[in-house]
Amino acid sequence: MRDYDQTIAFLGDWGPFQLTIFFLLSASILPNGFTGLSAVFLAATPEHQCLVPASANLSAAWRNVSIPWEQHEGQRLLSKCRRYRLDTLSAFSAGGLEPGQHGNVSSIEQEKCLDGWTYSQELYLSTIITEWDLVCENDWKGPLTTSLFFVGVLIGSFVSGQMSDRFGRKKVLFATMAVQTGFSIVQVFSVNWEMFTVLFVIVGMGQISNYVAAFILGAEILGKSVRIIFSTLGVCIFYAIGYMLLPLIAFFIRDWRMLLLALTIPGLFCIPLWWVIPESPRWLISQARFGEAEDIIRKAAKKNGITPPDIIFNTVELEYLKDQSPKGHTFLDLLKTRNIRIITFLSVMLWMIISVGYFGLSLNTPNLHGDPYVNCFLSAIIEVPAYVIAWLLLRNFPRRYSTSSTLFLGGVVLLFKQLVPPELGILSIALVMLGKFGITSAFSMVYVYTAELYPTVVRNMGVGASSMASRLGSILSPYFVYLGAYDPHLPFILMGSLTVLIGIFTLFLPESHGMPLPDTIEEMLRVKGFKYKAGTRMSRKSNGNHKILSNTAL
């Protein structure tokens, strides 16, 4: 009995049909690069001080000393959240006293910024922080905004798979594109922080669902030999291109509303793709819509200039395959045996910590030394070689050591960053980018690695559970950045330590490179210390419509 890949093998691997699907689905990921990290500029916090209104009737001399000085990280800086009492300053000014005549100005009582703040417009004309004064007592709302976006991503990742299985890959792809684009446009007209944040959650739901639907659709339409390239050099590279365009657009548009509108418009160009990208024939077959699936394959053959066989799908075989599909498994099966429990625990921790590192470093670029637009662009462009290296490692080297080594690289250089003197800002940025390179490479490889560890009967659930753990990591990541307000080295120490730790734990996972994919929980590679335990599993040989099973050593 032939499987689906054997059935459509006559199409070839890289015909015009496959190239069209590869590039159009990859291009549909471009807006995700905008949306996923747009908070870097939309929620940026510029330099600010308490507003001293003109109605305070202060002389120029008293106005110049109205903001107290504070010690911060060994530096003497003007306070961002306090000012001297204006009624006291006004009384001294009205009495004709000068600051030096009064004595020590610092002895004057201080008060909060009762009249708001003034914000520097050197980098940003406006952000949601300046729009709604999300500073000082309200500074917690900034990271919460980004975290709630990732809450939407978590919800979207949970429901998108079920929606895709029920309604089809193509419908979910374009519906979630519409959600992402439509609600982003509505977001431009937000009247308060609460409205912006609620809409941001919905945008996050559409953003990840769009990404997942495009990923699944491409993996199911494209041939076996093209899928690993699509999942790394396709989807990931185009995401990185979108990420690179983000600081370029933000550099020229520094008002947050106009910037958000400019980042949303490219999503409208995806509308014509509806008439070009087909539904997944695999999904249509799973729904017993064999005629529609065959029609898509015949159109693909025509586009590739190939004459298809008279009978592409044998309906009897397809019905048999559908009946043989695994049923009845739940998330509890991920904890069924000691072996799968360990793999599930390690996979969840691996995805969560990688996500904390990836998004923590990406969101922290405005806080690095130098221009935030340049830093964000460097953070984006470093992903391109990271994905290329990940692809090469996946092709040629063991998964376990490849993933662990890139995590070690990323974590160690982040720990070294705190040793760099402040005057060597360029070296500090270089270490951060090298850390981002290592963590991004690991992030790209872990998708393939995790899928290879789990058996067919629970593979989707295993990857789904790991992906949800990744979303929890992304929710936490803004608060790692937030810790930098207290100590600029603390986020890098925490992210570096966790990354090195999970790099060590990765060595406990079994090796899957060159191994047949397991189909049952009993066939999974064994976990034992730093090496997997060779066990007994079943190899399958095709013999007509029957399968001959034999014991083979791993």
| Alpha carbon distance 67, 84 (integer Å) | 6
Q: Is residue 382 part of a domain?
A: yes
For residue 531, the cross-strand partners are: 528
Whether residue 396 sits in one domain with residue 277: no
| Alpha carbon distance 462, 455 (integer Å) | 9
CATH of the domain at 527: 1.20.1250.20
Whether residue 241 sits in one domain with residue 191: yes
Whether residue 225 sits in one domain with residue 208: yes
Length of the chain: 554
Helix runs in 483-514, H state only: 490-506
Domain boundary among 119, 147, 169: 119
Whether residue 515 sits in one domain with residue 399: yes
Q: Is residue 185 part of a domain?
A: yes
- Whole domain around residue 250: which residue ranges? 1-37+133-325
Whether residue 255 sits in one domain with residue 114: no
Q: Is residue 127 part of a domain?
A: no
Q: Is residue 459 part of a domain?
A: yes
Whether residue 337 sits in one domain with residue 318: no
The predicted structure's pLDDT at residue 328:
57
Whether residue 319 sits in one domain with residue 337: no
**Token pair recorded at residue 321:** 């395959």
Q: With b meaning 16 or more CB within 10 Å and e meaning fewer, what string describes 144-179?
A: bbbbbbbbbbbbbbbebbebbeeebbbebbbbbbbb
| Alpha carbon distance 334, 338 (integer Å) | 10
The three-state secondary structure class of 408 is: helix
The predicted structure's pLDDT at residue 536:
41
For residue 334, the cross-strand partners are: none
Domain boundary among 119, 144, 167: 119
| Alpha carbon distance 65, 98 (integer Å) | 11
Domain boundary among 325, 347, 368: 325
| DSSP labels, 282-321 | HHHHHTT-HHHHHHHHHHHHHHTT----S----HHHHHHH
Handedness of CA 26, 27, 32, 38 (dihedral sign): positive
Beta-carbon-side half-sphere exposure of residue 281 (alpha carbons within 13 Å)? 21
| Alpha carbon distance 405, 118 (integer Å) | 47
Q: Is residue 425 part of a domain?
A: yes
The predicted structure's pLDDT at residue 334:
73
Whether residue 232 sits in one domain with residue 115: no
What does DSSP assign to residue 113? Answer: -
For residue 526, the cross-strand partners are: 533
Whether residue 7 sits in one domain with residue 70: no
Q: Is residue 356 part of a domain?
A: yes
Whether residue 240 sits in one domain with residue 137: yes
Whether residue 310 sits in one domain with residue 451: no
| pLDDT string in tens for the chain (554-residue length) | 356 667 777 777 788 888 888 888 888 888 888 887 888 899 988 988 998 888 777 878 878 888 888 876 667 788 888 888 888 888 877 777 777 655 567 778 888 888 889 999 988 999 999 999 999 889 889 888 988 998 888 888 777 767 777 788 888 888 888 988 999 999 999 999 999 999 999 998 888 777 777 877 887 787 767 777 887 778 888 888 989 999 999 999 999 999 999 999 988 888 888 888 888 887 787 777 778 888 888 888 888 887 776 776 666 656 655 555 545 566 677 777 788 888 888 888 999 999 999 988 888 887 777 788 998 898 889 988 998 898 888 888 888 899 999 999 999 998 888 887 777 778 888 888 999 999 999 988 887 788 778 776 666 677 777 878 888 888 888 888 877 767 778 888 998 999 999 999 888 888 877 776 676 777 767 776 544 444 444 344 334 333 333 332 22
Whether residue 246 sits in one domain with residue 156: yes
The three-state secondary structure class of 64 is: helix
Q: Is residue 245 part of a domain?
A: yes
Total domain count, the chain: 3
| Alpha carbon distance 261, 42 (integer Å) | 11
Q: Is residue 43 part of a domain?
A: no
Residues 268/181, Cβ–Cβ less than 8 Å: yes
Q: What is the CA radius of gyration of the chain?
A: 28
